[in-house]
A and B are shown apart, each in its own frame.
Chain A
Amino acid sequence: MKHTISVLVENQFGTFNRVVTMFSGKGFNVHSMSIGETESPEISRMTIVTEGDDKIIEQVVKQLNRLIDTIKVVDLSGSPKVERELALITVFYQKGNRADIISVSNIFRGNIVDINNKTITIEITGPPDKIEAAVNVLEGYGIKEMARSGTVALKRGEQVKGDKKELQQNNIQV
């Protein structure tokens, strides 16, 4: 089963590398891995989509935790979350099917971000399965090239009662 794991790491030289090395060294699967800054600049968030049975995922989480530069590791699978991925897809068009492609893009709420006399480039954002579906349809027209960002994810916010200040103080959340 696929798992989306969110990891807060120190935004330091070599941290990303350390995580990648650990994954390859232990032979864990990686579907996608993304990294970017968080609300505090000294902390980065990695979102890792990996696959394995429960025993393997338990090891993935433990091994991530074991790295000195990881601050927090949460397996988001099973909890309510927002997951998004961005894809740029360049598709060949012929006379006659350009409008079709644009309407496919519209159905997936994509944006046309580039066009020339042979190809059209669509930007699509959404949960990974939506991107998958769009790619499947667009393959019918002939995909020239594609770039995907990998998944980023956050746990859905719970309704919060109480003190705003306290929330701000605890602003490291996964």
Chain B
Amino acid sequence: MKETKPVMSGAEIFFECLKREKVEIVFGYPGGATLKIYEKLYDVDFLKHILVRHEQGATHMAEGYAKATGKVGVVLVTSGPGATNTVTGIADAYMDSVPIVVFTGQVATHLIGNDAFQEADIVGITRPITKHNFLVRDISELASSIRKAFYIASTGRPGPVLVDLPKDVINSVCEFEYPEKVEMRGYKPNLLGHQNQIKKAAERIRKAKRPLLYVGGGVIMSGGYRELHLLAKENNLPVTMTLQGLGAFPMSDPQSLGMLGMHGTYWANQAVNNCDLLVSLGARFDDRVTGKIDAFATGAYKIHVDIDPTCIDKNVVVDLPIVGDVKHVLAELAAEISSPPKIEEWWEQIHKWQEECPLHYEKHDGKLRSEFILEKLSEFTKGEAVIVTDVGQHQMWTSQYYKFNHPRSHLTSGGLGTMGFSVPASIGAAFAIKDRPVISISGDGGFQMNMQELITAVYHKLPVKFIIINNSFLGMVRQWQELFHAEKYSFTDLSDSNPDFQKLGEAFGMKSFFTNRPEEVDSILEEMMQIKDGPSLAEFRVEKEDMVFPIIPSGATIKEMMTKRLNPKEMI
């Protein structure tokens, strides 16, 4: 007997699909084109809908949720302006390979192309910044498109997928059937690395004299950090991480060299430059990491493990590519290495570099500095918190001074460098993370880019700690103006135009703090940690003109690394 399939409306199918995908939370904002979905949502109880204040906020919240949990973040917005407001978040998720699915309302199919009210070709607009996108033109394709969207977003190299839902499709009815399996002949991510290549890599590691593991966000996404730990520990290998890789290996472990690249540690960059074997794991040789390509790790045999073949040989030509899921490859690599390499001398050299040029800032002049706050925060939370940074100097200082000991505990916008990421992303993370503090760190500039979402945190009583490192400047840009643009501080001084952040926090209904004195930092942090029934905010007014060191100027080499501000006398 033929099984009868239930007949459902588009809106019902939509929610039934989300249920099958085990979606727990949706970040959204309603509008004309999604009214039917919101009508249905009224009776849906298996998921939580979070009403944001701006659709960009919704996308970053979905990112924060996804980065913190590894699950797919879901966004639901209306057509036209609702859809275009998601663009920055989608681009951000694309650059940092964050699995999110964005549902956009669309005008009815017969109106598409007519410049109808609130029409935007969001599928066209987001084509270059999504892993894939769908315009569902017929209700019969609705369930399978949603199924594929979740599958594509979360498998292989993760990324954002957009599903555009025309009004008439949502309003019509159809037999519902959820595809058991996804079959796409054009999309079959290769998980297992090539056996022989892995054998060769193991042999290289065994024989290396100066090996280095260069770890990117891929290790975290694939869940391969235990395997990484095993490989590094059993073979006593030094590990350096990219901005997105921080926490893949515990940074308080002596084998961690911290971050490499433009604002990376001196010793990590020296190690890259002098290693004879560079094993890149789920990283992509970004220009902020490599600096001048021709001078990058010139003496090293380079192994590159990545699930995305387009990453391989894109920026740096490598000797041994292994296309596959980093977790799988790491496990096999660790099992394959018969004996650890003999690298005592290499470690001695690295320790020398560590002593030669440690991270440094002025501690004794009684002034409040960002580095001090971040160091305190690291001690205070023992590297156990989920830290969500924005973009700028405070972001780099966090990467230097906060010792991340766990994967998925450092959330930041790396590839796109999106100011305004931290506030909403921390909120998204806080909906999922309940056992550790979630701390948002922003500059005074970036904080103002999505501060409308503070109310979302207040309303949902999320104990996010919003920290504003206020240097009264768009600090990172100011730094470049000082170093590379003739000290023309063009439109970066916010001294006279910042709001009163403490009052602002209070207006949103948060306990809010302010200080510009180092001795008060402890007690403020202490108090913030005690507030568990809602968010709190602290403005730390720091030195205006501090710079992030070390810095390797864009496109330069470690020889050009600056480790401190030159005073005028030294410059002559």
Contact = CB atoms under 8 A, between A and B. Distances in A.
A55 B316 CA distance: 11
Given A18-B127, A68-B152, A59 B314 contact: yes
Nearest to A67: B186
B310 interface: yes
B187 interface: yes
A71 B313 contact: no
Contact of B309 (A10, A66, A69): A66
A13 B134 CA distance: 9
B124 interface: yes
B124 A71 contact: no
Interface in B273-325: 308-310, 312-314, 317
Interface of A: 9-10, 13-14, 17-18, 21-22, 25, 55, 58-59, 62-63, 65-71
A68 B127 contact: no
Contacts of A10: 186
Nearest to A10: B186
A65 B309 contact: yes
B128 A21 contact: yes
Contact of B137 (A13, A66, A70): A13
A5 B128 CA distance: 21
Nearest to B131: A68
Given A14-B127, A68-B132, A68-B186, 13 more contacts: A13-B135, A13-B137, A17-B127, A21-B128, A25-B128, A59-B310, A59-B313, A63-B310, A66-B308, A66-B310, A68-B152, A70-B186, A71-B186
A146 B317 CA distance: 43
Contacts of B187: 68
Interface string B344-364: 000000000000000000000
Contacts of A9: 186
Contacts, number: 39
A55 B317 CA distance: 9
B137 A69 contact: no
B569 interface: no
Contact of B128 (A14, A22, A68, A71): A22
19 contacts: A9-B186, A10-B186, A13-B137, A14-B127, A14-B135, A17-B124, A17-B127, A21-B128, A59-B310, A59-B314, A62-B309, A62-B312, A63-B310, A65-B309, A66-B310, A68-B131, A69-B186, A71-B185, A71-B186
Contacts of A18: 127
Contacts of B137: 13
Contacts of A66: 308-310
Contacts of B184: 68
B123 interface: yes
A56 B128 CA distance: 19
